[in-house]
A and B are shown apart, each in its own frame.
Chain A
Amino acid sequence: MTGLEFVFVLIAALTLFSAVMVVTTPNMVRAALWLILALFGVAGTFVLLNAAFLAVVQVVVYIGAIAVLMIFAIMLTRKVMKDSGPQTNSTWGLAALIAAALFGGLTFALTRSPAATLMAPDFSTVSDPVAELGRALVSPQAYVIPFEVASVLLLAAMIGAIYVAWKK
């Protein structure tokens, strides 16, 4: 196993373990913190794919803004942090079966698809990936329309959120 594969297995194990803990832990604040760890694992995966910019963006936006927002929402609205009652309900057997079937189906489909043999994209010929991304974002042949629409979308999201959350 090469060093890269070893690191990938480590990061993937961390991400999956944190994801399982998010769903199973009864304490909500701890679930939020496990989520932060899982998102951090995703950022690590981005680094292994030579997408360093996306990795830091993941941390800045997802962990720094969205996770903080979620924690605020949890801490401000719940008096009792522990979920009361049992963790599973009566139909948990059927749910586990469906989840396992879905997992098996997805694994089967992915290993048969071209994605199974893809390697991390080789950026050694590109001098500056971030600059290329920037150029693609504003060039008329590439993504300029989504770029401007994204700003309108952010404006709409801001106005919508204020409309929902603001009481005056």
Chain B
Amino acid sequence: MGDPFALISQWFTNLLLGWGLSESAATVIRLLVGAVILATISMLTVVVLIWVERKLAGRLQDRPGPNRAGKFGLLQPIADMIKIFTKEIVTPAQADKTIFHLAPVVFIASVLLMWVVIPFTATVMGANLNVAVLYVVAVGAFGVVAVLMAGWSSNNKFALLGAFRAVAQMVSYEVPMVLALMVPVLLARSMGLTDIVNAQSVWFIVAAPIAAVIFLITSMAEVGRAPFDLLEAESEIVAGYHTEYSGMEFGMFYVAEFLHVWTIGALLGTLFLGGWRGPGAETYPLLGILYFYIKTFIGYFIVTWIRLSLPRIRIDQMLAFNWKFLTPLILVVLIFTAILDKVLEVYAVSGWGHALSMLALNVVIGWATVQALKKVEKSRQRRRPEFPPRPVAVAPKSE
């Protein structure tokens, strides 16, 4: 059957050259068209995701979800989009107008840019960068800047406070995320996502389950999904850094959040679940895309499931969890994974043997962590003073 995408790309290039364009101009136009297609597909995926999310939220909360707009509520996202397009964009008084209007664009650009490096099949991807993993972290940094821009330019103390807390959260959770991303890079000996996918004859989730879990948790905190969504805690600081945004600009923040969760699913699938690999994916690229979408959806489902099941945690609990648990844990995992990987390489163990030894290491570290946590809990119990039993209400003594 061949590779339909290479054929289309070749046909398009020949078309452009036939019109008399030079080689480099044809390349630029081909890449530009590819970029526009990728960006449009990403943003249209969000339209589908809005429906998926609300139906899923409904079913997990034992209610039907949207079912009025069209059969099964399938036209609901269209209705939402029409509503958001026609709402007035209110600019707050004395806000810094340029930065105010620029912030949602930068925010969603930072998420869209992640799709450049994700491989859909062996040959279909935006750009095969050899530093793709750090590139993903780098574009995340632009999201942080956009949040600060949004909170600052709203001229609203709650938005500014919300922006600071959001940035503190995003920046804190970036440390274990970058360290957890280093584990697949170590195992695949490369930072390029295509190389990482090609190295997964055994999926990396077998060899590095702790790193996968930590990547999932920290990415959820980066997006601001529950249980880490105190940034949007309506009862606490209204809507945080996007309090003053309305209409399509708020829509952009909303779209960026959904797209980011979908991107997390895609990254989880690519880094730990083997990306587009599966039976028959090398010969039929379309099968590769199917496997890719299935794995992305698994990641998306897990994130949404956690979101709809757990309560929100406080900011001090969240930061303590990050700095006192996740960061030391991932550093320890990294040290032992590196040592074990080198030892296994010296003894020339690879494939399933390698993966299973790594799995055993992760199990041992996990068990040791649980024991340590139990000891900490016990020492905390001992320090808690015993209160003598007191009656709840005492009758007044004076008559």
* B271: min CB distance to chain A, Å: 17
A64 touches B138 (CB 8 A): yes
A21: CB under 8 A from chain B? no
User: CB-defined interface of A58-77 with B at 8 Å, one 1/0 digit per residue?
Assistant: 01100111011001100110
Interface size on B, residues (CB 8 A): 28
A49: CB under 8 A from chain B? no
A63 touches B142 (CB 8 A): yes
B264: CB under 8 A from chain A? no
- The interface residues of chain A lying within 8 Å CB-to-CB of B349 are none
Residue B134 contacts which of A56, A68, A71 (CB distance < 8 angstroms)?
A: A56
Residue B131 contacts which of A29, A52, A68 (CB distance < 8 angstroms)?
A: A52
B144 touches A68 (CB 8 A): yes
Give the contacts of A110-154 with B (CB-CB under 8 A): 128, 130-131
A56 touches B140 (CB 8 A): no
Q: Which residue of B lies closest to A4 (CB)?
A: B24
B329: CB under 8 A from chain A? no
B149: CB under 8 A from chain A? yes
B137 touches A68 (CB 8 A): no
A93: CB under 8 A from chain B? no
* B217: min CB distance to chain A, Å: 20
B116: CB under 8 A from chain A? no
A52 touches B129 (CB 8 A): yes
Give the contacts of B43-102 with A (CB-CB under 8 A): 96, 99
* B356: min CB distance to chain A, Å: 27
B134 touches A67 (CB 8 A): no
Alpha-carbon distance between A130 and B138 when the two chains are bound, in angstroms:
17
B138 touches A30 (CB 8 A): no
- The interface residues of chain B lying within 8 Å CB-to-CB of A72 are 164, 167
Question: Known contacts A30-B99, A33-B99: does B138 contact A71 (CB below 8 Å)?
Answer: no
A56 touches B131 (CB 8 A): yes
User: CB-defined interface of B252-293 with A at 8 Å, one 1/0 digit per residue?
Assistant: 000000000000000000000000000000000000000000
Question: Known contacts A52-B129, A52-B131, A130-B131: does B138 contact A60 (CB below 8 Å)?
Answer: yes
User: Apart from A30-B96, A68-B148, A130-B131, what are 8 other A-B pairs with CB-CB below 8 Å?
Assistant: A59-B139, A64-B144, A71-B145, A71-B148, A75-B148, A128-B130, A128-B190, A131-B190
| B residues apposed to A, CB below 8 Å | 24, 28, 96, 99, 129-131, 134-135, 137-142, 144-145, 148-149, 152, 160, 164, 167, 171, 174, 189-191
User: Can you list 21 A-B pairs, Cβ within 8 angstroms, ordered by A?
Assistant: A29-B96, A33-B99, A33-B149, A55-B131, A56-B134, A59-B138, A59-B139, A60-B134, A60-B141, A63-B142, A63-B145, A64-B138, A65-B141, A68-B141, A68-B148, A68-B171, A71-B148, A72-B167, A75-B160, A75-B164, A130-B130
| A residues apposed to B, CB below 8 Å | 3, 27, 29-30, 33, 36, 52-53, 55-57, 59-60, 63-65, 67-68, 71-72, 75-76, 128, 130-131
